Amino acid sequence: MGRSPYCENAGLKKGPWKPEEDQKLLAYIEEYGHGSWRTLSAKTGLQRCGKSCRLRWTNYLRPDIKRGNFSLQEEQTIIKLHALLGNRWSAIRAHLPKRTDNEIKNHWNTHLKKRLTKMGIDPMTHKPKSHALCPSQLKDAANLSHMAQWENARLEAEARLVRKSNLHVSTPFQTQLGSSAAPARLVNKDLAPPPPPPPPLCLDVLTAWQGSFTNSTSMPSFQYNNGGACDETMGMRVEDHGFGKSNKFSELKEIIDAYNIGEVWKAENANVLLPNFMEDLSDLLFESSNELYGNSNNVVGISCYGDFEENNKIDSHWNNMVNLVNCSK
DNA sequence: AAAGGGGCCAACCGCCTCCAC
DNA sequence: TGTGGAGGCGGTTGGCCCCTT
């Protein structure tokens, strides 16, 4: 297939946006939302291609963007997630909802990568460059590998959920970026106003890492929680967003039992089993939410919880590393 | 004061996936 | 089932700004 050039009409403008162009784009999106970016660029009278308009909106004009310096916590999050996910900026962005992937990528390339290098840490592997790994580091590496598998499975499941949902609607100033890493096709301004944006699905690898690990082979265990109260046990809990009222609850228990998820985590073929598990789980959650609330994807979620005090000990490798990096600023 | 160099970041490029037809 | 359009994503670039000499 022949590639279409970025801006196929030679007459289209490139380069930095002028304030009046921003105003035109903003005014249009405030009134109509954004549907087809190509159509939008034509309707606004902007001599810009649709792709350029989309980029300007998502990276700069969106009102929910946090600009300026990255906080310590944000930097720690980026470093940890980069260790888990690599250069998957959109996935990392999902954990820093007010930042754009471009901004995170720039910050990594211009600041964090150099800081790690200075510290003698390979920014790609997140391991010390000149030292053999000690046993505890090997354990951490094993954890990271499993967590990465889990996060990949989670992202795929999220994407599947969004794809299956027909909730492809946005209002002005509402985009897909804040709620999920999954793609979303937008928009029809003539439809009724959509419900508030869904809370992010949170089978959250970062929170799990911070809050739920006790040793190198323990995967946070799933709990069937039918009522909502959170006990002191470490693990993950399928949140009751009405799930307990659904007759799908017994099916959920069956799925979790069938996969014996606590053991799957340790299995050699976890990379195969986990995505299958997530697929079955997301299918069930999707069906359940439809059953209870009609066609909507904002009512189911998976959350994690744990004994944070105890688990703070676990994180020592990463915390030490991050602290070192911060001290070297 | 001017020139050179490096850092930063907004924007672009090209590849990929998804989806409608 | 194949094709093409549209949007998403990650890598790269180019120009502005600041610092140093």
Residue indicated by tokens 């709990």? A223
Strand C contact at CB of residue A57, distance < 7 A? no
Q: Find out whether A134 and A116 touch, Cβ atoms under 8 Å.
A: no
What pLDDT is attached to residue A78? Answer: 93
- The residue with greater pLDDT, A224 or A76, is A76
Beta-carbon count within 10 A of A225 CB: 20
- In this structure, are strands A302-305 and A121-122 parallel, antiparallel, or unpaired? unpaired
Minimum-distance nucleotide, CA of A61 to C1': B10
Minimum-distance nucleotide, CA of A2 to C1': C4
Task: Give the contacts of A115 (CB within 8 A, at least 6 positions apart).
Answer: A325, A328, A329
- The residue with greater pLDDT, A21 or A196, is A21
Strand B contact at CB of residue A111, distance < 7 A? yes
Calculate the average pLDDT of chain A. Answer: 60
Per-residue pLDDT, averaged over A241-261, amounts to: 51
Strand C contact at CB of residue A91, distance < 7 A? yes
Q: A214 phi and psi, to 5 degrees?
A: -120, -30
pLDDT digits (tens, 9 = 90+) for A143-180: 555 666 565 566 555 555 555 543 333 333 333 333 33
Per-residue pLDDT, averaged over A50-79, amounts to: 89
B21 C1' – A57 CA distance, angstroms? 29
B10 C1' – A272 CA distance, angstroms? 40
Strand C contact at CB of residue A176, distance < 7 A? yes
Highest mean pLDDT among A39-53, A186-200, A236-250, A307-321: A39-53
pLDDT at A327 over 90: no
Nucleotide C5, nearest residue via CA and C1': A4
Beta-carbon count within 10 A of A309 CB: 8
Torsion of CA A273, A275, A278, A282, to 10 degrees: -140
Strand B contact at CB of residue A6, distance < 7 A? yes
Cα→Cα distances A316→A209, A311, A320, Å: 11, 10, 6
Minimum-distance nucleotide, CA of A41 to C1': C6
C20 C1' – A329 CA distance, angstroms? 21
Q: In sequence order, what E strands does chain A have?
A: 121-122, 127-128, 222-223, 235-238, 302-305
What pLDDT is attached to residue A279? Answer: 57
- In this structure, are strands A127-128 and A222-223 parallel, antiparallel, or unpaired? unpaired
Residues 149-168 of A with CB under 7 A from strand B: 159, 163
Strand C contact at CB of residue A1, distance < 7 A? yes
Minimum-distance nucleotide, CA of A86 to C1': C10
Domains and CATH numbers, chain A: 19-61 (1.10.10), 73-311 (no CATH)
> Structure tokens of A30?
């405030």
> Structure tokens of A135?
């046993």
